[in-house]
């Protein structure tokens, strides 16, 4: 039981490049989330999904896209990276009836130069 | 809309001393309240939660938090801290209706010194 895993752990991009972050969970959770963590700002919700094939915007969705083609995977895409997207990205998942109890992955540290 | 305020960004404390990490929230509807902990270079883990019932909740490692509705607070306390408690602590809320997503505070870094 691996819990929530994230790929990659580190990445450096140049402005304008694109990339996809992968989140996978093996707990059969319905809900999945993408957050970004910036110093002094806590975690802010980017996008989330309440089930396979469904996604919704969070607090800071601009510049990101997501997809949930399979229940266990939640992808976060950056089409044209900007320095403002330098951050640590966390994926989390939870059961539908216990959305407050979220299980977090180890994070992806992204630097955009 | 709901929001969470953690007034202290850093709290240095000596080992075996008591500590309180403050959290205040605002919301127009009922909320559930949580504390998450993040150890260095790791993701967040749920530390304790208040859903209903007793306003005093405890974790397995000696932390406790008390829900105070009149003061809209959910402060985290521990009577005697250990070096291993060094981490960042996040207060969070979720509304009991609508979007089931957590709103986090900005975090408090607890630094326990020997």
3-state SS assignment for residue B18 = coil
Which of B 52-81 lie inside 8 A of A, CB atoms? none
Which of B 85-104 lie inside 8 A of A, CB atoms? 90, 94, 99-104
Phi, then psi, of A83 in degrees rounded to 5: -55, -30
Nearest residue to B106 (alpha-carbon basis) of A36, A37, A42? A42
Q: Is residue B96 scored above 70 in pLDDT?
A: no
Q: By the 8 A CB rule, do A76 and A47 touch?
A: yes
Residue labelled with tokens 């009991």: B96
Contacts of B106 in chain A (CB under 8 A): 40-42
Q: In the prediction, which pLDDT does B97 show?
A: 63
pLDDT one-digit tens code per residue, A28-45 = 999 999 999 998 888 999
- Cα B15 to chain centroid, rounded: 19
Smallest Cβ–Cβ distance between A40 and the set B9, B102, B103 belongs to B9
Smallest Cβ–Cβ distance between A99 and the set B45, B100, B103 belongs to B100
B25 reaches A (C-beta below 8 A): no
Cα(B83)–Cα(B36) distance, integer angstroms: 18
Q: In the prediction, which pLDDT does B67 show?
A: 92
* Average per-residue pLDDT for chain B: 90
* C-alpha distance from B83 to closest chain A C-alpha (Å): 22
Cα(B35)–Cα(B23) distance, integer angstroms: 9
**DSSP string of chain A?**
---EEEE-SEEEE-TT--EEEEEEESS--SEEEEEEEETTTEEEEEEEEEETTEEEE-SS-TT-EEE-SSTTEEEEEESS--GGG-EEEEEEEE-GGGTTS-EE---EEEEE-
Name the band, by pLDDT with cuts 50, 70 and 90, for residue A3.
very high
Tokens matching residue A102: 């979220």
Read off the pLDDT of each residue in A13-21 and give the average, rounded to a whole number. 97
Pairwise CB contact (< 8 Å): A45 & B34: no
Cis peptide, bond prior to residue A8, ω within 30 of zero: yes
Residue labelled with tokens 């005093």: B56
Q: Is residue A77 scored above 90 in pLDDT?
A: yes
| Percent of chain B whose pLDDT exceeds 70 | 96
* C-alpha distance from A77 to closest chain B C-alpha (Å): 20
More confident residue, B30 or B20: B20
Cα(B52)–Cα(B89) distance, integer angstroms: 22
Pairwise CB contact (< 8 Å): B101 & A99: yes
Name the band, by pLDDT with cuts 50, 70 and 90, for residue B74.
very high
Q: In the prediction, which pLDDT does A76 show?
A: 98
Q: Is residue B3 scored above 80 in pLDDT?
A: yes
Other CB atoms within 10 A of residue B48 CB: 19
pLDDT one-digit tens code per residue, B35-60 = 999 998 888 899 999 888 888 888 88
| Percent of chain B whose pLDDT exceeds 90 | 62
């Amino acid at each position: 039981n691996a819990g929530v895993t994230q790929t990659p752990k580190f990445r450096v991009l140049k402005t304008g490049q694109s990339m996809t972050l992968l989140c996978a969970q093996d707990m059969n959770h319905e809900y999945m989330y993408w957050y970004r963590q910036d110093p002094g700002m806590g975690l802010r919700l980017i996008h989330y999904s309440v089930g396979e094939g469904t996604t919704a915007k969070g607090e800071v969705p601009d510049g990101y896209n997501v997809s949930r083609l399979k229940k266990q995977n939640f992808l976060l895409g950056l089409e044209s990276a900007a320095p403002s997207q330098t951050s640590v990205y966390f994926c989390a998942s939870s059961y539908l009836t216990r959305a407050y109890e979220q299980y977090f992955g180890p994070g992806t540290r992204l630097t955009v130069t | 809309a709901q929001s969470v305020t953690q007034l202290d960004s850093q709290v240095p404390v000596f080992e075996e001393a008591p500590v309180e990490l403050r959290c205040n929230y605002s919301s127009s509807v009922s909320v559930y309240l949580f504390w998450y902990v993040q150890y260095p270079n790791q993701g967040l883990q749920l530390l304790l939660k208040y859903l209903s019932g007793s306003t005093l909740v405890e974790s397995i490692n000696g932390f406790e938090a008390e829900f105070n509705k009149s003061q809209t607070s959910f402060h985290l306390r521990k009577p005697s801290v250990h070096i291993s408690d060094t981490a960042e602590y996040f207060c969070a809320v979720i509304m009991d209706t609508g979007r089931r997503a957590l709103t986090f505070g900005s975090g408090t870094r607890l630094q326990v010194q020997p």
